[in-house]
Each structure stands twice: as structure tokens, then as C-alpha cells.
């Protein structure tokens, strides 16, 4: 029978929170980097569709990350456990499906709506936890989830009057479901003894294979998959994206998320748009001056301050009394 284990203020819990905050900071860096890579790719391959830009960017970062991780984790992979293989494949498939649906949905809805609906797992996770436990999470959890959604809505300038559930909105909501499943897979007690490097290597390999195939399918010609690799600036952006936003962030996620609850993780991950918005205040101009294309900085707005403040407040409130963790 499942039982509750207190998961409040121990040093391991604090390190896990810090590790996931750093992961979110690194993911925030990925937004201006991916935008810059897209600008550069359009100059190199003018016939690139949005699909090809996306699939090649994702495939390239995970192919490179896979190569590095296979070297770093070679000792663990030589003794790969069945549970590590299973968890890594599940993480890779859910991440890949979530990214694919999110990107396709973005073609049919606004960026603000996409950002808002993607974070809907902040509500779905405590709802699923309540159904599984047959008891509602504490009121503070629901309050924090509401604060996060309000913060994301303000941050993305979401307009309720413009919301309708068309293809883009439905795909984005479904992507949020896959991201939620990924969070639960990391929390699953059956994988408690898995080694982070081995699981991350399998996850990277799965995403690389899936998006490598998609890049070939969406490329104007097969040779166009290699053309961006001839650009020094594109390779530099890819190196940063791979080192910090893929190797660093996902390794931190796999290493530290199992030490907190899925509910906490879902709310902490919602701070990523705040970091992304802060990065967009100064990095685009630096990238454009260096690479020679037009990519302007974003401006500091009340939406960033108010939305980011609500998301931060939600996470601070949650850490004052973290939810108890369930173990088998």
C-alpha cells in the first residue's frame, strides 16, 4: 500500500529544487538560441519550412548530445539495466511527442496561447495525483497552480476572448499531456534505482533517432540537412544549445526531479518562461551583431514583471510547505 513520506526541508530536497531551477534557467537560454539558429538556417537554406527548421534544430542538438553522452556514460551503458532502458525510451518518446505536437500546434495558434496551454500540466498534475490518491492535494497546491497559470497568461499576454479549441489549441493541450507523463515517469518509484547518465543517454538517443528521421522527411533535399553545419555561427549556437540547454539541463532534470513530487516539479518547470523572457531582453542583439542578421531585443514590460512575479510567488509559497511524497 502506498504511504506518505515527508519531503519538506531536507538538504537533498533543497539541492533538487536548486538543480531544477538551474535546468529551467538553461532551458530559458534555449529560446533565443533556437530563434537565432532559425534565422541563420533561413539564410543558408532559403527554402526551409518552419517544420524543417524545427526538426533539424532538435535533431542536431540531440544527435550531438547523444554522441557526448555515449562517451560520458559508456561505463553505465555497458551494464545497462532493463529499467533504465525502459525509462529512457519512455522519456525520449514523451519528450519527442510533446515537442512535435507543440511545434505543429504553434502553426495554428498564437505564441501566447501556446505558452499558456503548454503549462496546463500545472493543473493537470495535481488533478491526476488527486485521482490516484483519492484525496485532494492541500489547498496551497491548487492556489499555487492557479497563480502559475495566471502568471503564464499575463507573461504571454494571453487573451481569453481569442481562445477557441481548434487544431492548434488541441495539439498544444495534448503536448502538455505528454510533458506531464514525462514528469510522472521520472517520479515513478519503479525507476528509483536508475542511474541518471544511463537514462539520459537512452532518452537522447531516442529523440535523436525520431527527429533525425523527421528532419530528412521535411528537408527540401537531403543535402540541406548538412548545409547549416558549414556555418561557423550556426555551429556556435548549436554548441551552446547542446552543452547548456540539452546536456546540462536534461541531465539535471533526470538527476534531481525524482527527489521531489510531480506536483512540485510541474510548478517549478513553469518558471522556464520567466527565464526565457529575461534572456530575450539582452541576448538577441548580441547574437545578431555577432552572426550578422536582424534579431532585436525584447523590452522590459509590466507583463514580465507581473507574470514572472506570480510564478515566482507560487513556487516560493509551495516551498514553505511542500507536498508529501508518495512511495510504494
For residue range 86-141, list pLDDT tens digits in order.
999 999 999 999 988 888 887 787 665 677 778 888 888 988 988 888 888 888 88
Pairwise pLDDT comparison (59 vs 100), residue with the higher score: 59
Q: Is the pLDDT of residue 248 over 90?
A: yes
Which of 46-55, 109-118, 164-173 is predicted with the least confidence, judged by mean pLDDT?
109-118
- What is the C-alpha separation between 39 and 166, in angstroms, rounded? 29
Report the pLDDT averaged over residues 12-27: 94
Tell me which residue of 25, 59, 44 sits closest to 291, measured CA to CA: 44
On average, the pLDDT of the chain sits at 88
Helices (H), the chain: 11-44, 50-72, 74-78, 82-106, 111-118, 121-133, 139-155, 167-187, 196-218, 232-242, 249-256, 262-269, 272-279, 283-291, 302-320
Band of residue 328 on the pLDDT scale cut at 50, 70, 90: very low
Tell me, what DSSP letter sits at residue 322?
P
For residue range 306-317, list pLDDT tens digits in order.
888 888 888 888
Domain boundaries, the chain: 3-327
pTM strictly above 0.85: yes
DSSP string, 51-98: HHHHHHHHHHHHHHHHHHHHHHTHHHHHT--HHHHHHHHHHHHHHHHH
Query: Which three three-digit cell numbers place residue 251?
Result: 541531465
Q: What is the largest CA-CA distance in the chain?
A: 61
Q: What number of other Cβ atoms are within 10 A of residue 138's Cβ?
A: 16
Band of residue 58 on the pLDDT scale cut at 50, 70, 90: very high
Q: Is the pLDDT of residue 268 over 50?
A: yes
What pLDDT is attached to residue 181? 96
Pairwise pLDDT comparison (93 vs 34), residue with the higher score: 93
For residue range 171-219, list pLDDT tens digits in order.
888 999 999 999 999 999 999 999 999 999 999 999 999 999 999 999 9
In which residue are the cell numbers 511542500 written? 322
What pLDDT is attached to residue 163? 65
Amino acid at each position: 500500500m502506498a504511504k506518505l513520506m515527508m519531503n519538506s526541508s531536507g538538504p537533498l530536497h533543497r539541492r533538487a529544487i536548486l538543480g531544477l531551477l538551474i535546468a529551467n534557467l538553461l532551458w530559458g537560454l534555449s529560446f533565443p538560441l533556437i530563434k537565432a539558429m532559425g534565422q541563420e538556417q533561413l539564410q543558408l537554406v532559403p527554402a526551409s519550412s518552419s517544420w524543417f527548421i524545427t526538426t533539424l534544430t532538435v535533431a542536431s542538438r540531440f544527435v550531438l548530445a547523444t554522441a557526448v553522452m555515449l562517451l560520458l556514460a559508456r561505463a553505465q551503458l555497458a551494464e545497462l539495466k532493463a529499467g533504465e532502458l525502459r525509462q529512457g525510451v519512455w522519456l525520449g518518446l514523451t519528450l519527442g511527442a510533446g515537442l512535435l505536437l507543440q511545434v505543429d500546434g504553434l502553426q495554428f495558434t498564437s505564441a501566447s496561447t501556446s505558452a499558456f496551454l503548454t503549462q496546463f500540466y500545472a493543473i493537470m498534475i495535481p488533478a491526476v495525483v488527486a485521482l490516484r490518491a483519492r484525496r485532494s492535494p492541500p489547498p496551497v497546491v491548487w492556489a499555487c497552480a492557479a497563480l502559475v497559470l495566471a502568471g503564464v497568461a499575463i507573461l504571454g499576454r494571453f487573451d481569453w476572448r481569442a481562445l477557441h479549441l481548434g487544431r492548434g489549441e488541441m495539439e498544444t493541450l495534448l503536448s502538455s499531456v505528454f510533458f506531464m507523463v514525462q514528469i510522472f515517469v521520472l517520479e515513478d518509484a519503479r525507476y528509483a534505482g536508475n542511474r541518471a547518465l544511463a537514462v539520459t543517454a537512452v532518452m537522447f538517443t531516442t529523440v535523436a533517432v525520431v527527429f533525425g528521421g523527421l528532419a530528412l522527411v521535411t528537408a527540401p533535399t537531403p543535402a540541406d540537412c548538412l548545409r547549416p553545419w558549414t556555418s561557423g555561427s550556426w555551429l556556435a549556437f548549436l554548441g551552446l544549445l547542446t552543452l547548456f540547454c540539452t546536456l546540462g539541463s536534461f541531465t539535471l532534470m533526470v538527476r534531481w526531479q525524482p527527489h521531489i513530487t510531480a506536483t512540485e516539479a510541474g510548478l517549478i518547470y513553469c518558471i522556464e518562461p520567466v527565464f526565457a523572457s529575461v534572456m530575450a531582453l539582452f541576448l538577441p542583439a548580441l547574437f545578431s551583431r555577432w552572426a550578422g542578421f536582424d534579431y532585436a531585443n525584447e523590452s522590459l514590460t509590466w507583463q514580465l514583471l507581473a507574470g514572472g512575479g506570480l510564478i515566482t510567488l507560487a513556487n516560493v509559497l509551495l516551498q514553505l510547505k511542500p507536498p508529501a511524497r508518495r512511495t510504494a
